[in-house]
Chain A
Amino acid sequence: MWKVYKYTLIDLARNKFVGGWMLLLLGISFGLFQLEDQPVKAMLSLSQVLLALVPLVASVFSIVYLYDAMEFTELLAVQPLRRSKILGGQMLALGTALVIGVLAGAGIPLLAFLPDGASLTLLLSALMLTLVFVAIGALIAIRNREKARGVGLGLVVWFLFVLVYDAVLLWVMFAFSDYPIEPWIVPLAALDPIDLGRIMVLLKVDLSAMMGYSGAVYEKFFGNATGILVALAALFAWVAAPSAWAFKAFRRKDF
């Protein structure tokens, strides 16, 4: 696995898109911190950009990269090497490259201008979302033979998670506002990885407001590090589940 990982990473290191993504993030981050007179405000704007863009870029790039590598993957698959090691190496390399892109592109400005817990949480949630959407992208690329279809599906999934799911959630809140749905809202939000990443940031920057909602229900959960740890664990599950599915599909895949 590590051999596939190493050479895939060498390939990705020179990939123009990965470099471009890092530069784009650097530009946005520095721009925001220069533009806003208060670093907190810049961080909040950056969090909105990251929470929307990171999933999009991670999934679409992974899908495109894996499609383009399909013939090479086929060649690897006829080597004396288990298939799980091929996919494992490729996914890890994609994750590593994109994580480095986020760390360098957004992490450096964040920690330079606002080195505090909120910045770290935002960075952590952007990194987790990168891994989640690499896994989702891999799953899509493996399960669909056509590149255009795969990329389209990636966009649809992103759009679902970034906007549609929240709209549905809001509608559910309205529709069932006469029922005691309060305890269900956070678990429901956890079904959307982007919401999870966002809630992690909220627990740092908007804890005061979250404590208002929590009342008795989530006071313990929100009040200390537990909330962030639980959100983090849920994000890990969001990495693990699509990965496991992708591995299963890849093992059974016919080239």
Chain B
Amino acid sequence: MAASPDAAAVQNIREVTEMVASRKLYSAGFITDIEADKVPPGLSEDVIRLISAKKEEPEWLLNFRLKAYRRWLTMTEPEWAHVSYEKVDYQSISYYSQPKSMKDGPKTLDEVDPKLLETYRKLGIPLREQEMLAGVQNVAVDVVFDSVSVGTTFKKKLLEAGVIFCPLSEAVKTHPELVKKYLGSVVPFADNFFAALNTAVFTEGSFVYIPKGTRCPMELSTYFRINERNTGQFERTLIIADEGSHVSYLEGCTAPQRDENQLHAAVVELVALDDAEIKYSTVQNWYPGDEDGRGGIYNFVTKRGDCRGPRSKISWTQVETGSAITWKYPSCILRGDDSVGEFYSVALTNHRQQADTGTKMIHIGKRTKSTIVSKGIAAGRGQQSYRGLVRMLESAEGARNHTQCDSLLIGDQCGAHTFPYTEVRNPSATLEHEATTSKISEDQMFYCRARGIGEEEAVSMIVNGFCKDVFKELPMEFAVEAQKLLAVSLEGAVG
């Protein structure tokens, strides 16, 4: 990187300012009809019809939603994850995101919890967040606090390259044939409890289509934020990489600090056709709850990529530092011969956070390869689980997998767990799994401290070293952000 950090920061501020400005424009119309859009908490077929009507959806999409809803009613919430939490009351959630009246929201920076602001200041990215909060007194706030795809900003430039990047609800209108063909083709409508719920009520999300032989000219990014009380967020993202194309997509998330728990049940579907490559990176920083475990987001997410064509590749990279409960297994179905799946993860749980996360690699095609690198860090009273499945079917001739999952424990109240499922049905397949659990060694600490490095700084340094294998997979800007995030999230974990 040639640019100095200062120059990068200036650039960042400029971009963020532009983004905020563009959002203000978008928001003006939104807020006026919002009052009329209000949907009371509760879930029923009528609510789903209403959501569908608001979005002016075609008949087939409504039927898709209703089919999922009817199946969802017969399903039970999964309990196998190594997490404990108070069950969600699905009838107390409002399913059509509706910004709270301005009267109750923070109007000035003084009203915003200083702890929150401090956090954002430390983070760096969250400059955007601060810009948004700083502009609290104008109408933009509602949009900023709501979850809206920033995609529209670059739409025109992307269209020149033939790339379609827009909110899913827009794609339903402009590219119905693509949406109809691929929506629900990777994550079926009744895949699991939360995916079925999402299919019934999804309201937000991005749609990406990269045409044949195209290398997407810029990184695509979506930034999710839950801001509304008593709502759930049901984002739905669909990315299709046509033959020989390439795309890198970034996702970031935050939510305000609240005493209540909120539900985020997203579904992300990736389709990679012949020779296509999708790189999907997430920095997840939903509000994790306070030191005593009050509040925070329930992050119950289904993410799955389908390597449909030969030689296709899907790579997931995630940095999970937020959420009270994380339940997330980005997966790859390696259908095409010689296709490649990758999963790089850093998950951190501090205070009373709980994470049950990992991946699934389903090897179907010949000579398919998968790599899993998972780094779990547990601090405070955090509980951290890696749960992964590697399945090699009879057809997966010569398939290979390597899994490395390491846990780092900071403090004697936390827990780190590993549940690696391996299922092999082909005698020419090779699978390796290794895992270690350790704590920060006294030697490492002593070495750093003896050189005048403060305790927290030393821990942060060692943790960054521990996570290096994953961070190097992130796009540069995100890697810097992720390191800062870890440092902030670990604050108070030592000493």
Asked if A and B bind, the verdict is no
